[in-house]
């Protein structure tokens, strides 16, 4: 090893310019890292529906049990050894899980350079040996506590992992939606509810309205929905409406008043209260964050 290193060093020439070197401007350095796992279907579904829209990136690793991730209406079938990046404010939930017991690992983080993540959009990536090695080190650092040494190592290894996955994705040929990456199988109930809410976005639809449209009793719909997704229908409607607002707010030419009326709110103040309570920031602050690069 030492001899090889000496030979490599001998091949290097002197630089033409001692003040102009090389650096990468698009290195992903994640901040405010949270690492956790989901071990049951019930826990995965309930907490994903409970989690209201946020500006964090969510990196999902399927370690055990096949399942579908619905991201903004697109169904991605994740098999063990698959990973998927969910972008800030994307509406995502989990359905059609093959078993009630699973092991899905999550790393969520914030980022100062959002453009570095665009490679991941509409792509899945396969986990390789390097990915496994880095994940094992990340879990060890995360379990070792919050001292500065552990946090430095956690940040560095998460950065190595994300940049490694980005290189893996960039070497693959993009697959058009509807081919092997994207599973078109849909959950009939969720699809029906989403279609109804989308086509009736101009008014605030209730569980009773949806039940009537689906030719079900309201009590039966609520019971079936909770049984299938481990979350109340009311919480889902609120989450869906918040994401409709987020999608509209990506367009800076649409006023807050127009967005409010488009979603069925009778006043701008009622929309602002709903948005602030659900998202955690005001519509104005959210739109400022979009200008700074946090795009869904």
**Residues 144 and 242 placed together within one structural domain of the fold:** no
Same-domain check for residues 42 and 152: yes
Q: How far apart are CA 183 and CA 139, in angstroms?
A: 30
Q: Are residues 194 and 146 in the same domain?
A: no
Q: How many structural domains compose the chain?
A: 2
Residue 12 lies in a domain: no
Domain endpoint, select from 138, 170, 202: 170
**Residue 212, domain CATH:** 1.10.10.60
How long is the chain?
A: 296
> Given a cut of 60, is residue 186 above it in pLDDT?
no
pLDDT at 156: 96
* Domain membership flag for residue 280: yes
Q: Which of 71-75, 175-179, 279-283, 288-292 has the lowest mean pLDDT?
A: 175-179
SS3 content of the chain, % helix, strand, coil (to 5): 45, 15, 35
Does residue 193 share a domain with residue 78? no
* Residues 281 and 192 reside in one and the same domain: yes
Asked whether residue 264 falls in the same domain as residue 205, the answer is yes
The rounded distance, in Å, linking the Cα atoms of 204 and 36 is 35
Residue 292: predicted pLDDT: 57
Mode of pairing for the β-strands spanning 124-126 and 82-86? antiparallel
Q: How many helices (H) and strands (E) does the chain have?
A: 11, 8
Which residue among 107, 139, 170 closes a domain?
Answer: 170
**CB 31, CB 109: distance < 8 Å:** yes
Let me know if residue 36 belongs to a domain. yes
193 C-beta neighbours (distance < 10 Å), count = 23
Same domain, 54 and 160: yes
First to last CA, the chain: 47
Contact partners, residue 202, CB within 8 Å, separation at least 6: 261, 262, 263, 264
DSSP alpha helices (H): ranges in the chain?
Answer: 2-10, 41-50, 129-143, 148-170, 188-199, 207-213, 218-229, 233-249, 256-262, 268-279, 283-291
CATH number of the CATH domain containing 73: 2.60.120.280
CA distance 271 to 201: 13
pLDDT in tens, 197-242: 888 878 888 899 999 999 999 999 998 887 776 678 888 888 888 8
User: Which residues form the domain of 137?
Assistant: 31-170
Instruction: Please check the confidence at residue 178 and state whether its pLDDT lies above 50.
Output: no
- 90 inside domain: yes
Give 44's contacts (C-beta < 8 A, 6+ positions apart): 38, 67, 94, 97, 102, 104
Decide if 77 contacts 103 (C-beta within 8 A).
no
User: Both 266 and 163 in a single domain?
Assistant: no
| pLDDT at residue 293 tops 80 | no
Which pLDDT band, with edges at 50, 70 and 90, does 244 fall under?
Answer: confident
Strand ordering across the sheet containing 101-110: 31-40, 101-110, 57-64, 82-86, 124-126
- Is residue 255 located within the same domain as residue 151? no
Kindly state whether residues 160 and 228 are assigned to the same domain.
no
Asked if residue 200 and residue 124 are part of one domain, the reply reads no
Task: Say yes or no: 163 and 212 in one domain.
Answer: no
- What average pLDDT does the structure give for the chain? 83
Domain presence at residue 139: yes
* Residue 238 placed within a domain: yes
Reduced to 3 states (helix: H, G, I; strand: E, B; else coil), residue 295 is coil
Domain boundary among 137, 170, 203: 170
């Amino acid at each position: 090893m030492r001899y090889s290193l000496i030979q490599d060093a001998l091949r290097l020439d002197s630089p033409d310019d001692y003040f102009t070197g090389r650096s990468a401007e698009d290195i992903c350095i994640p901040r405010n890292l949270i690492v956790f796992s989901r071990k049951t279907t019930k826990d995965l579904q309930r907490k994903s529906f409970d989690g209201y829209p946020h500006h964090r990136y969510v990196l999902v690793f399927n370690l055990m049990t096949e399942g579908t991730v619905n991201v903004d209406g697109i169904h991605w079938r994740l098999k063990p050894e698959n990973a998927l990046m969910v972008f800030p404010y994307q509406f995502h939930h989990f359905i059609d899980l093959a078993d009630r017991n699973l092991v899905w690992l999550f790393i969520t983080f914030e980022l100062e350079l959002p453009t570095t993540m665009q490679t991941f959009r509409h792509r899945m990536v396969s986990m390789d040996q390097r990915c496994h090695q880095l994940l094992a080190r990340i879990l060890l650092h995360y379990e070792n506590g919050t001292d500065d040494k552990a946090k430095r190592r956690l940040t560095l290894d998460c950065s190595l992992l994300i940049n490694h996955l980005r290189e893996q994705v960039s070497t693959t040929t993009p697959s058009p939606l509807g081919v092997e990456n994207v599973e078109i199988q849909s959950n009939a109930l969720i699809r029906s509810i989403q279609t109804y809410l989308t086509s009736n976005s101009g008014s605030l639809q209730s569980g009773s309205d949806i039940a009537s449209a689906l030719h079900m009793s309201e009590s039966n719909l609520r019971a079936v929905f909770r049984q299938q997704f481990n979350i109340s229908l009311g919480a889902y409607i609120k989450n869906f409406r918040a994401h409709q607002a987020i999608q509209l707010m990506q367009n800076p030419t649409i006023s807050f008043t127009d967005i409010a009326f488009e979603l069925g709110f009778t006043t701008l103040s009622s929309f602002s209260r709903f948005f602030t309570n659900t998202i955690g920031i005001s519509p104005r602050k959210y739109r400022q964050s979009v200008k700074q690069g946090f795009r869904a």
